[in-house]
Amino acid sequence: MLTQNWKTSERKYRLREERDFTIPASDGTKLNSYLYRPDAEGKFPVILGVCAYSLDDQIAPIMPVGTGGIRGHMEAGDPNFYVSRGYVHVIMNVRGTGKSEGFYDFLGRQETRDIYDAIEWLAKQPWCNGNVGMFGPSYFAMSQKRVAALNPPSLKCIFAMYGFTDVYRDLDYHGGILHHNFRPRWIPKLANLRSKNRMKEKLGEEEYRQRIQAALEDPEVAAIPALVEALKEPDKGRNAWIVEPLLSPLDGEFWEEWRAVGEGELKIPAYLGSCWGVYGIHLPGDMRSWEAWQGPKKFTVGPPIYLDRPVYQYHYESLRWFDHWLKGNDTGIIREPRVQIFLDGSGGEWVESNDWPLPQTRWTPFYLHENGLLSEHEFWPNESPTVYVDSAYERGSAAFRTPPMVEATDVCGPMSLTLYASVSKNEVLWFVQLLEVDPQGSERLLTRGWLRGSQRRVNVDRSLPWAPYHTHDRREPLTPNEIYEFQIEIRPYGIRLRPGHRLAIRISGHDGDPPTHHLHGIGSGHVALQSSSRVTIYHDSDHPSHLLLPVTRGNRIGTFISGGMITT
């Protein structure tokens, strides 16, 4: 890539391929990889990608298509692109997958240590200049963040977009509500999986069986036939990986091992980010990584369409990053704003900044009112509450809409919903959809939030008004018909609401309508309560239920409840 001020490495080398290239771990385990390097003498930087998927699939010679369930695991990037520009590209299977020896340790400490060993071993090879970088989204990115916390001496940078960091909050329990549909669809993608039942080893046979029985007796779990089938035969096939999260429904020691940030110094240069569409898996971890990272960093959030497969969209951007940190070439990337944010609904505009959340953000409370109004206007006297019924036979909901926007209004960043509510049972599940409504009344789902009512406890020291952090370490049943305050994290989004458009929320006790595309499908697939309950949402001066929105542009004097329009 050429500009007037800088250029990336030139495309000038032919590719030399070596399949089934062995990399030793420190305990003697042999890890299998595909090695691609320039067909020329000399020493080159290494770009390493690590996964549990088929290595053949990673280099399949197919045209890109929008991602879906079939191609979602093809994430290594194109060796031809990097090698032709003077890099060695290594794609490695973690232990217990593909042709790598050992037993699978899904994002565990042993797996991360293996990657550390591979980095240092590759750096010492005669065709390597001693510098190693890493590339790839999703599994590849999660691995990068974890090994970066160990600070391998030869790892000079990572390009780790689309990588969740908290298996409990980002994958298996959204807001403390079991998210059951991802693992059964993902686990078949793992290549030649060989594993032990690590949960049984940790708990012992007796406690393991007790937890299995407790899960089978949980009405929420019992309503999902696939989960019941796996629990009845936990040692069959790959069922242990489906069962594992069902046996630890609260956060705690079991889940601590799979935190990617918070352990050690995160000082290796990191290119981070995601897209608005993966709020159901990666986006929260990408935001969390940006906040925690101490070393040089950049952050990009793209359109809500994820990436084509095989991955290619970030090849040139990653090349600029690698050229800078692995070759010492000036590509100008460090002098550019650190944060690049795509604004949905803007006609393709990007917002640049050096900080996230954006420094111009005005977190503005939009209050819930009777008759479904969502407005900055505070409460009128004697506003009546909103009521719906949630049961297996009647999944009710409550919706609140803003008036039409009078001016173009940008909402961009993290947000939260504070609800004052009571229920007729001792539990409630909150499912919140954030919607854009066009002038004709058509709704478009933007993002979601979730919270199990009995897990409403917030860690005050780790929370901000727009980012509540729930401990999820206990269940505190509700007293029927008593009013509680619930602080619900809404996964971040960035959108320009044009004049005449509205913003809305829909609150219910279930996932809502069937997803219309793959990414919304990842954000759905949760359990629901099986008992009937009457849910009452209060919105008055004593119970100021509100949606806290990150307004970054426009809406200076409100949305005009009168339905005002700009006239000429």
Phi, psi for 14 (deg, rounded to 5):
-85, 160
- Let me know whether 202 and 241 are in one domain: yes
Considering the chain, what percentage of its residues have pLDDT values greater than 90?
85
Distance CA 478, CA 471 (A): 17
For position 440, what pLDDT does the model report?
95
- Let me know whether 521 and 475 are in one domain: yes
- Let me know whether 232 and 293 are in one domain: no
Looking at the structure of the chain, the number of domains it has is 3
Q: Does residue 560 form part of some domain?
A: no
In this prediction, residues 226-252 reach a mean pLDDT of: 94
Q: Does residue 185 form part of some domain?
A: no
Q: Does residue 269 form part of some domain?
A: yes
- Let me know whether 267 and 329 are in one domain: yes
Q: Does residue 123 form part of some domain?
A: yes
In this prediction, residues 426-435 reach a mean pLDDT of: 98
58 close to 310: Cβ distance less than 8 angstroms: yes
For position 557, what pLDDT does the model report?
85
Write out the two tokens for 316: 């040139």
- Domain endpoint, select from 214, 236, 253: 253
User: What would the pLDDT profile of 465-509 be if each residue is shown by its tens digit?
Assistant: 999 999 999 999 999 999 999 999 999 999 999 999 999 999 999
- Let me know whether 312 and 407 are in one domain: no
H/E element holding 55?
A: helix 55-58
User: What would the pLDDT profile of 314-326 be if each residue is shown by its tens digit?
Assistant: 999 999 999 999 9
Residues 6+ apart with CB under 8 A from 549: 363, 364, 365, 366, 411, 415, 503
Mean pLDDT value across the chain: 94
Q: Does residue 467 form part of some domain?
A: yes
Residues 6+ apart with CB under 8 A from 41: none
Of the candidate ranges 82-86, 307-311, 428-432, the one whose mean pLDDT is the lowest? 307-311
Question: Which structural domain range is residue 240 located in?
Answer: 192-253
Beta strands in 343-408 (DSSP E): 350-353, 362-368, 374-375, 386-390, 397-401
Write out the two tokens for 437: 């409504």
CATH code for the domain in which residue 549 is found: 2.60.120.260
Q: Does residue 178 form part of some domain?
A: no
pLDDT of 369 > 70? The answer is: yes
- Let me know whether 329 and 412 are in one domain: no
Q: Does residue 561 form part of some domain?
A: no
- Domain endpoint, select from 253, 270, 288: 253
- Let me know whether 382 and 300 are in one domain: no
pLDDT of 515 > 90? The answer is: no
Distance CA 378, CA 366 (A): 8
In this prediction, residues 275-286 reach a mean pLDDT of: 95
- Let me know whether 471 and 414 are in one domain: yes
Q: Is the pTM of this model over 0.85?
A: yes
| Banded model confidence at residue 263, pLDDT cuts 50, 70, 90 | low
User: What would the pLDDT profile of 91-143 be if each residue is shown by its tens digit?
Assistant: 999 999 999 999 999 988 999 999 999 999 999 999 999 999 999 999 999 99
- Let me know whether 77 and 201 are in one domain: no
350 close to 342: Cβ distance less than 8 angstroms: yes
Of the candidate ranges 99-103, 180-184, 228-232, the one whose mean pLDDT is the lowest? 180-184
Of the candidate ranges 20-29, 499-508, 554-563, the one whose mean pLDDT is the lowest? 554-563
CATH code for the domain in which residue 140 is found: 3.40.50.1820
Q: Does residue 3 form part of some domain?
A: no
In this prediction, residues 28-37 reach a mean pLDDT of: 98
- Let me know whether 538 and 450 are in one domain: yes
Helices (H), 69-149: 79-83, 109-123, 139-148
Distance CA 400, CA 441 (A): 13
- Let me know whether 123 and 51 are in one domain: yes
- Let me know whether 216 and 102 are in one domain: no
- Domain endpoint, select from 229, 253, 277: 253
